Amino acid sequence: MKYRYAEMVWSEIKEAAQQERVAVLPVGTHEDHGLHLPVDADVLICTEICERAVAQIPAEAVLVPPVIHGYSPHHMDFPGPITISWDTFIKYVKDVCCSLAHHDFKRILMVNGHGSNTAPLELAARQSIIEYEGKILCALVNHWEIRKAKEMGNKLRESDHGGVSHAGEYETSIYLALKPDLLDMNKAVDERSPLPPSFQADLLLGANPEGSAAHLMPYWSSMTESGVRGDATKASVEKGKNFLEAAIEGLIELIREFKVTKILPRKKH
Ligand SMILES: [Zn+2]
C-alpha cells in the first residue's frame, strides 16, 4: 500500500483522503549545526522519523513531501542557513495545509525539526483551522516533544541540563544513526548557552529548574563560537538508534490518537 503522497496518482490521493488518513507533514530548515554535523540535520531527522513511522501504518496516514526551508534569520552570521521571512513562511505552510484540506484531508499533523519554526508553525496550524472554519484539524508537534522520544531521550542521555540543545547530544546521536559517514566527531564540542538560567532551554528537559521559563533568542553568533549549543561529545550511534526508534513508536501512537480525534461542531452562542 502506498504511503508517500508524492508517489500517488490523483485517484489514490482522493481515496487516501476519503479513508481519513492523517496527512503527516515534516518541516525543517537548513542551518549551521557546528563543524561536526551537516546543515540538513533538522530536515533529515524529522523526515526520517515521519517516513519510518508512516511506512508502518500506511492505512492510517500519508507522508506529505517535507517543507525543507524554515525560519532561521538569527543564524545568518554563520555560512549556510537558508531562511524564509516569518510571514512568508507562515503563509507558505498554511497554503500547503489548506491545499491538503481542499483535497479533503481532515487531519493534518506537522512534525517539526527546528526549534525556531515552532512559533510560526503554530500560527500556520491555527490559521488553517480558521480558514476551513473548524471543519479540519491541523496540529503541530516538535519531534523531541513526542512522549516516547522525550522519555527515551532523558533515560539514555549523559549530559546535564542544556546538553540536549541545537546540534547537541540528541540531534548528533540521531544523525549518527542515520548517516554516520557525514559526521566528523573529531570536531564535536560541548558548548553551552552563556545566558542566565531563566533564558536557557533544553530540548528534552525544558526550562532550567534554577530559573523561569522565559523566552529569548539573541543572534546565534553572540552565543556560540562553533554553532553548537549543547554537548555533542556525548553522542553515540547506539543512543541515536534508541532515540530514533522511540520517536518512531511515539509518532505512530500520536498519529493514531489524532486519527480518532473528533472534529467537534462549532456552536453559535
Ligand atoms: Zn537542529
DSSP of 69-110? -B--GGGTTSS--BB--HHHHHHHHHHHHHHHHHTT--EEEE
Ligand 1 centroid to residue 213 C-alpha, Å? 20
**pLDDT score at 106:** 98
In a domain, 140, yes or no: yes
Which residues have CB less than 5 Å away from ligand 1 (the ion)? Answer: 41-42, 171
**C-alpha angle 113/246/30, rounded to 5°?**
15
Which residues, 6 or more positions from 140, have their beta carbon under 8 angstroms from its beta carbon?
Answer: 109, 110, 112, 118, 121, 122, 125
For residue 242, the domain's CATH number is: 3.40.50.10310
In a domain, 268, yes or no: no
In a domain, 53, yes or no: yes
Could you give the CA distance from residue 157 to residue 227 in angstroms, rounded to a whole number?
A: 21
Total structural domains within the chain: 1
Tens digits of residue pLDDT in 127-179: 999 999 999 999 999 999 999 999 999 999 999 999 999 999 999 999 999 99
Ligand 1 centroid to residue 269 C-alpha, Å? 44
In a domain, 110, yes or no: yes
In a domain, 211, yes or no: yes
pLDDT category of residue 46 using cuts at 50, 70 and 90: very high
162 close to 226: Cβ distance less than 8 angstroms: no
Range of the domain at 222: 12-259
In a domain, 249, yes or no: yes
In a domain, 267, yes or no: no
Could you tell me which of 251, 262, 257, 246 has the C-alpha nearest to residue 24?
Answer: 251
Q: What is the mean pLDDT of residues 52-70?
A: 98
Q: What is the mean pLDDT of residues 60-74?
A: 98
Could you give the CA distance from residue 23 to residue 221 in angstroms, rounded to a whole number?
A: 36
Ligand 1 centroid to residue 9 C-alpha, Å? 33
Q: What is the mean pLDDT of residues 253-263?
A: 98
In a domain, 2, yes or no: no
Ligand 1 centroid to residue 32 C-alpha, Å? 8
- Using CA atoms, how far residue 1 sits from 4, 16, 25, 170, in Å, is 9, 11, 19, 32
Ligand 1 centroid to residue 43 C-alpha, Å? 8
Q: Is 142 exposed, middle or buried (0-12, 13-18, 19+ CB in 10 A)?
A: buried
**pLDDT score at 140:** 98
Ligand 1 centroid to residue 28 C-alpha, Å? 8
Ligand 1 centroid to residue 14 C-alpha, Å? 34
